């Protein structure tokens, strides 16, 4: 008897190799076991192009309505992709569109397996990155300065008061200039999301910025974050966890020397860069999960990696592939567990946990894709193809009680 999932989940399909493994996962690990109302949105590049990208906005609106979404990796087109797929234009990043509609914080957490030792030997527990997903260089205005002249930053108050003008630089020749922004409300909700996550998971919260150099911009982040942490002091104390502010360069050094087990809150760019560093440090992009949490408690789960395009071209040539589906499976289990938690349906939560255990049991039992085989300790003699790995997980799932 399939397990009944009370409320719907928004499923967003994607592109290339990620799409291929997505369909295998759904067919072999999800639909046979669950009676699930799926709201399906095809965010594959062709469908986005046909709908002038309205499909992405509709999917984000559906997450707002149902509360839970699960997303496959998608192509963010550049000029080469426009040509490759004959697109009408360079559509925006679907993740960027969804983030700006839900206004959230992205948390990235590595999956740890006993036989996949991290590259940094001190790391024992997950390092979770909380990335502020709004503003800074991701919503900047910039240009190339063609020759001598002055660049200024100008603010015009809506109330009609006096303009504020700050000189950026007197150029004596060619150069570049950029203006960027953030908002107090977005920073505050970023801080709150990180505080809730850290207290919920009972892990310390670190926040790093460069306030020694950027006294106003980064200083503003430090102050707003600090105020929110101060307001939550009692909750921190009763959860037995601490808040720490560090200079970003010190944070990097301390994180590498630590045994892990903290939430590292990062400004947008730092989070983008550091999550790749942490993912690689823990073994493979194929083991990094990602969840977008909105201030009003909506969740969107996905794998942190992209569409794994090199593997897809091999797949198109008819060659076997060994693409790691673990993070995509954990996107589903994350969504299902959260759905069950919100709906108060414990059998759904239990199914999600059982599926995660089946994945870990497969890898720890020596069945793994090539990316993991290269770093496994003890060594394994052969790697599983993508489908073989998913079949091995399905077998272990069927054997488990409580599925
Ligand atoms: P990527 O798809 O993450 O792949 C980068 C490399 O990492 C792969 O070539 C592969 O290395 C390895 N890798 C990543 N995931 C893996 C997995 N599950 N199993 C095994 N190896 C894995 O990043 P990309 O090549 O920069 O981007 C490709 C496309 O994905 C782009 O169009 C980009 O826009 C899109 N993208 C989407 C998202 C998203 O939707 N969230 C995120 C990032 C990128 P080897 O080739 O060495 O095996
Ligand atoms: Mg990145």
Same domain, 168 and 188: no
Same domain, 121 and 22: no
Asked whether 328 lines ligand 1 (CB < 6 A), one says: no
Q: According to the model, what pLDDT value does residue 296 have?
A: 83
Q: According to the model, what pLDDT value does residue 294 have?
A: 86
C-alpha span between 35 and 394 (Å, rounded): 17
Tell the residue nearest (CA) to atom 42 of ligand 1.
Answer: 306
> How many whole angstroms from 285 Cα to the centroid of ligand 1?
8
Q: According to the model, what pLDDT value does residue 158 have?
A: 97
Tell the residue nearest (CA) to atom 4 of ligand 1.
Answer: 308
Asked whether 95 lines ligand 1 (CB < 6 A), one says: yes
Same domain, 172 and 76: no
Same domain, 360 and 224: no
> How many whole angstroms from 274 Cα to the centroid of ligand 2?
8
Asked whether 307 lines ligand 1 (CB < 6 A), one says: yes
Instruction: Provide the domain count of the chain.
Output: 3
Q: According to the model, what pLDDT value does residue 133 have?
A: 84
pLDDT for residue 274 is more than 70: yes
Structure tokens at 309: 């395009």
Nearest-atom index, ligand 1, CA of 324: 19
Q: Model confidence over 291-311: pLDDT tens digits?
A: 999 878 899 999 999 999 999
Residue among 267, 274, 309, 304 at smallest CA distance from 289: 304
Tell the residue nearest (CA) to atom 37 of ligand 1.
Answer: 306
Asked whether 324 lines ligand 1 (CB < 6 A), one says: yes
Query: What's the whole-model pTM score?
Result: 0.90
Asked whether 106 lines ligand 1 (CB < 6 A), one says: no
Q: Is 276:131 a contact under the CB 8 Å cutoff?
A: no
Q: Is 113:138 a contact under the CB 8 Å cutoff?
A: no
Mean pLDDT, the chain, rounded, equals 95
pLDDT band per the 50, 70, 90 thresholds, residue 104:
confident
Decide which of 233, 257, 282 is a domain's last residue: 282
pLDDT for residue 401 is more than 70: no
Asked whether 323 lines ligand 1 (CB < 6 A), one says: yes
C-alpha span between 289 and 326 (Å, rounded): 9
> How many whole angstroms from 92 Cα to the centroid of ligand 2?
16
Q: Is 358:393 a contact under the CB 8 Å cutoff?
A: yes
What is the number of the ligand closest to the CA of 384? 1
Same domain, 209 and 172: no
Asked whether 72 lines ligand 1 (CB < 6 A), one says: no
C-alpha span between 393 and 326 (Å, rounded): 10
Asked whether 286 lines ligand 1 (CB < 6 A), one says: yes
Q: According to the model, what pLDDT value does residue 185 have?
A: 93
Same domain, 231 and 255: yes
The lowest-confidence range among 259-268, 271-280, 375-384 is 271-280
The percent of residues in the chain predicted with pLDDT above 70, rounded, is: 99
> How many whole angstroms from 276 Cα to the centroid of ligand 2?
6
Q: According to the model, what pLDDT value does residue 403 have?
A: 55
- Beta-sheet pairing, 149-155 with 164-171: antiparallel
pLDDT band per the 50, 70, 90 thresholds, residue 402:
low
Residue among 132, 140, 61, 44 at smallest CA distance from 97: 61
pLDDT band per the 50, 70, 90 thresholds, residue 327:
very high
Can you tell me the mean pLDDT for 90-96? 93
What is the number of the ligand closest to the CA of 278? 2
Asked whether 292 lines ligand 1 (CB < 6 A), one says: no
Asked whether 308 lines ligand 1 (CB < 6 A), one says: yes
Can you tell me the mean pLDDT for 154-159? 97
C-alpha span between 77 and 90 (Å, rounded): 5
pLDDT band per the 50, 70, 90 thresholds, residue 284:
confident
Q: Model confidence over 200-229: pLDDT tens digits?
A: 889 999 999 999 999 999 999 999 999 999
Structural domain of 79: 1-116+283-403
Q: According to the model, what pLDDT value does residue 326 have?
A: 98
> How many whole angstroms from 324 Cα to the centroid of ligand 1?
11
In the DSSP assignment, the letter for residue 384 is P
Which of 76, 106, 308, 385 has the most ligand 1 atoms within 8 A of CB, as the residue to mutate?
308
Q: According to the model, what pLDDT value does residue 371 have?
A: 95
Angle between helices 217-231 and 184-201 (to 10 degrees): 40
Same domain, 175 and 188: no
Asked whether 280 lines ligand 1 (CB < 6 A), one says: no
Same domain, 27 and 146: no
Same domain, 122 and 209: yes
Same domain, 300 and 274: no
State which H helix or E strand residue 139 sits in: none
> How many whole angstroms from 307 Cα to the centroid of ligand 1?
5
Nearest-atom index, ligand 1, CA of 304: 41
Same domain, 40 and 162: no
Tell the residue nearest (CA) to atom 24 of ligand 1.
Answer: 306
Q: Model confidence over 233-262: pLDDT tens digits?
A: 999 999 999 999 999 999 999 999 999 999
DSSP string over 215-274: TTHHHHHHHHHHHHHHHTHHHHHHHT--EEEEEHHHHHHHHHHS---EEEEE-HHHHHHH
Can you tell me the mean pLDDT for 179-192? 95
Residue among 123, 6, 38, 15 at smallest CA distance from 332: 38
Q: Model confidence over 15-59: pLDDT tens digits?
A: 999 999 999 999 999 999 999 999 999 999 999 999 999 999 999
Same domain, 148 and 288: no
Q: In angstroms, how far is the first alpha carbon of the chain from the final one? A: 10
Q: According to the model, what pLDDT value does residue 339 have?
A: 98
Query: Which residue bears the tokens 């240009």?
Result: 143
pLDDT band per the 50, 70, 90 thresholds, residue 100:
confident
Q: According to the model, what pLDDT value does residue 400 have?
A: 81
| Alpha-carbon separation of residue 387 from 88, 114, 296 (angstroms) | 34, 23, 38
Decide which of 265, 282, 299 is a domain's last residue: 282
C-alpha span between 229 and 400 (Å, rounded): 42
Q: In what order do the strands lie in the sheet with 299-303?
A: 38-42, 9-13, 68-71, 299-303, 288-293, 105-110, 127-132, 262-266, 204-209, 243-247
Decide which of 282, 305, 320 is a domain's last residue: 282
- 36-71: b (≥16 Cβ within 10 Å) or e: beebebbbbbeebbebebebbeebbebbeebbbbbb
State which H helix or E strand residue 3 sits in: strand 3-4
Nearest-atom index, ligand 1, CA of 290: 41
C-alpha span between 204 and 337 (Å, rounded): 23
Q: Quick check: helix, strand or coil at residue 78?
A: coil
The lowest-confidence range among 115-124, 320-329, 386-395 is 115-124
């Amino acid at each position: 008897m399939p397990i009944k999932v009370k409320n719907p989940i928004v499923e967003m399909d994607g592109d290339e190799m990620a799409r291929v493994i997505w369909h295998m996962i759904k067919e072999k690990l999800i639909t046979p076991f669950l009676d699930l109302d799926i709201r399906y949105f095809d965010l594959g590049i062709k469908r986005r192009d046909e709908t002038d990208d309205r499909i992405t906005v509709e999917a984000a609106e559906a997450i707002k309505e149902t509360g839970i979404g699960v997303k496959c990796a998608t192509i963010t087109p550049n000029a080469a992709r426009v040509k490759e797929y004959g697109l009408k234009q360079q559509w925006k990043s679907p993740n960027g569109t969804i983030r700006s509609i839900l206004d959230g914080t992205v948390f990235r957490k590595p999956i740890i397996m006993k036989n996949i030792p991290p590259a940094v030997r001190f790391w024992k527990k997950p390092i979770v990155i909380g990335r502020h997903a709004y503003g800074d260089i991701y919503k900047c205005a910039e240009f190339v300065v063609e020759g001598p002249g002055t660049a200024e930053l100008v603010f015009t108050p809506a109330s009609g008061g006096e303009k504020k003008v700050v000189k950026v630089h007197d150029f004596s020749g060619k150069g570049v200039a950029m203006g960027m922004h953030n908002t107090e409300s977005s920073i505050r909700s970023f801080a709150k999301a990180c505080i809730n996550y850290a207290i919920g998971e009972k892990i310390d919260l670190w926040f790093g910025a460069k306030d020694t150099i950027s006294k106003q911009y980064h200083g503003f982040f430090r102050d707003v974050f600090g105020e929110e942490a101060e307001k939550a002091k009692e909750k921190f104390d009763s959860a037995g966890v601490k808040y720490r502010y560090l200079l970003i360069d010190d944070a990097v050094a301390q994180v590498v020397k630590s045994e892990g087990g903290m939430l590292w809150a990062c400004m947008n760019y730092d989070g983008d860069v550091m999550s790749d560093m942490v993912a690689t440090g823990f073994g493979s992009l194929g083991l990094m999960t990602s969840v977008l949490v909105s201030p009003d408690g909506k969740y969107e789960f996905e794998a942190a990696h992209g569409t794994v395009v090199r593997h897809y071209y091999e797949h198109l040539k008819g060659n076997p592939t060994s693409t790691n589906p673990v993070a995509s499976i954990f996107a589903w289990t994350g969504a299902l567990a959260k759905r069950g938690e919100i709906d108060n349906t414990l059998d759904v939560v239990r199914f999600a946990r059982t599926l995660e255990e089946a994945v870990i049991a497969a890898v720890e039992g020596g069945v793994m894709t090539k990316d993991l085989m290269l770093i496994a300790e003890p060594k394994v003699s052969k790697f599983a193809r993508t489908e073989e790995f998913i079949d091995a997980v399905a077998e272990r799932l069927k054997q488990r009680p409580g599925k």
